[in-house]
Amino acid sequence: MIIGVGIDVAEIDRFDDALRRTPGMADRLFVERELTLPSGERRGIASLAARFAAKEALAKALGAPGGLRWTDAEVLTEASGQPRLSVRGTVAARAAELGVRAWHVSLSHDAGVASAVVIAEG
């Protein structure tokens, strides 16, 4: 059963500007594994914008309650390249309240826009 669906878009240049203007913003939004590629290189801005959109979409799928921490949701990448969500803390607590047992996530970025769709399944 689908419990919630969320979608979000982020303008990549605007997101990049916000990260440059606000020191520490990336650390408030992402955990270290999200900021770097498996090779250890810094993840590109389009990829980070898509991950930010996924966190926004996740909040929408949960009904957009207040009090969710950005770093309590992590967008991981499987060896196949498929994105996967890992939740803990405030996000896991809200998901448990709603009966979420599985997550589905899709990320994309093209033409200056990053997007994400999240489906919460119970």
pTM above 0.75, yes or no: yes
Contact 115, 107 (CB under 8 A): yes
Q: Can you list the alpha helix ranges (DSSP code H) found in 6-72?
A: 12-21, 25-29, 32-35, 45-61
37: left (phi over 0), alpha (psi -120 to 50) or beta: beta
Predicted local distance difference test score (pLDDT) of residue 81: 87
105: left (phi over 0), alpha (psi -120 to 50) or beta: beta
- State the binding site: 8, 56
- State the binding site for Mg(2+): 8, 56
**DSSP character string of 74-97:** EEEE-TTS-EEEEE-HHHHHHHHH
Predicted local distance difference test score (pLDDT) of residue 58: 98
Predicted local distance difference test score (pLDDT) of residue 55: 97
Predicted local distance difference test score (pLDDT) of residue 48: 97
Residue-by-residue pLDDT tens, the chain, 122 positions: 999 999 999 999 999 999 999 989 999 999 999 999 888 899 999 999 999 999 999 999 999 888 999 999 999 999 898 999 999 999 999 999 999 999 999 999 999 999 999 999 99
